[in-house]
Structure 1
Amino acid sequence: MPEHGHRPLEGRVALVTGAARGIGRAYALRLAELGADVAVVDRDLRSFAEVAAEEEAAGGRSTDEAVTGLGRRAVGLTADVTDPGSIEAAVDEAVAALGGLDIVVCNAGGGSGSMADSLPSSATAEHVGTVVERNLVGTISTCRAAARHLRGRGWGRIVTVSSLAGHHPFRDGGYSVYGAAKAGIAMYTRSLAQELGPEGITVNCLAPGYIATGRLSAMFDALGSEQLRDSVALRRFGTPDDCAGALEFLVTDLGAYVTGAVLPVDGGAMP
């Protein structure tokens, strides 16, 4: 957590996709704590209510309401990153509402179906399309929409989100399409960093491991929590705040000379 009164992002405007709950919500709140005004973008701004633990933690407040409670300006926008027109309209609306754009966090994404649905030898075309659109294409569409507003200002931060699954396969090959899409995000990030670097815009990627959000904790239990924890060097699951701390480094001047990097936030996990 930032020190009391320490607001290195004062005067900056941030946009976070997939920010209604879980890690995305933690990103948005950390940016607000650091002084930024925040555009909260999600398909459903109250999706935290779908998971009891997350609803309890949220106290009934949407992420944009929580940002406002921290004394920052906020706007909540409904958009789907798999629809290029939808995310472009949301980015434009955020810029109009908050007076600019400095920081973009492409957090929206996620898997689909079970491990068996995504075995590399049998994943269907429909499954591939869904997962790639939700992750890789959604990230590219968000960056394309945002770059128009970031360029020409001499400073900017883009942070994409890959995954442990994007650089380590699971033992049985499950979630292969998700892993491939997340690996694609990492490579896209490196390329975008090269393009935008001359304009003072850094582009980096976070790669979370086993992060115990309210929604994922149930999945970890189904897979065997003890075994998963034993595969992590630190012998604990990560928290959304662990991810937010890594984000803080990348979007503030602490990470000013870091670009094109993929930063694991996985406690030293080995799938």
Structure 2
Amino acid sequence: MKLRYPAEAFALGIILFSSGMKEAFAAGILVIFTSVFAELLKNLLEKAVPAWSLRLCVLIASGSVCASAFLIGFAALGITLTNGQWIILFLTGLLCARHALLGNTEGEYGELLFESAIAWGLWILFSICREFLGSGNIFGNTVLTASFQSKALLGPAFAFMTAGLVTAAVNGILKKDCKGLNSLFPALPAMVLFHPFTVDSFAGLPGTLWVIFVPVFLFLSVKQTMKFARTGRFFRGLPVEMLAAGFIYMILSIY
């Protein structure tokens, strides 16, 4: 059975905003809002405009709505978005639109909201764990400071892992899988934004391109290898590849 919720968009959102409960709570609502908007717009225009125009309208509108909603919503919460995050949020909207245009939701708004709510709840739960284990805070408030806590848990490596664990958990609850989804869509933008290491020997554009190329190349290699791996049904595809990206970042961050 098809996943009704846009798992690729959720995965990218989780990578961006899962280091704290506040941002996870808000981001989940906004991704769900964009998903419903994309599906609604597609259904409204489907019989009124040509197919090429429909795709263009839904893609541009969904990307714009997503980026704008995040900008306004996060500003209200006192959270500042970087230019890079804002651009990638436009891509998140495109992933919501892609999911709608592929016909995965099929106008089943109830199922879309139900599956999205499960993903959102797990997103918040894992974000609480990351925030507490990384800083001792929950919703920005200090709860406990202990020696077992580590700031490394707030880094991009564990953001990728969180995306993988959340999508796998959703699959397990819904008894579905991520067949037909492409992990490159959430992974590549995140790898452009988050760099696992820095290069001191050469700075500027060459250094930036190198720190982007290395994790992308390794991810593509692992992704190809994963096709032959005997992973469980619920981890197959997007979830295990997000976990692999997390381990790649963890290893590269050592150097």
Greater percentage in helix = 2
Give the TM-score, by structure 2 length. 0.32
Give the TM-score, by structure 1 length. 0.30
Greater percentage in strand = 1
Between the two structures, name the one with larger relative contact order (CA 8 Å, sep ≥ 6).
Answer: 2
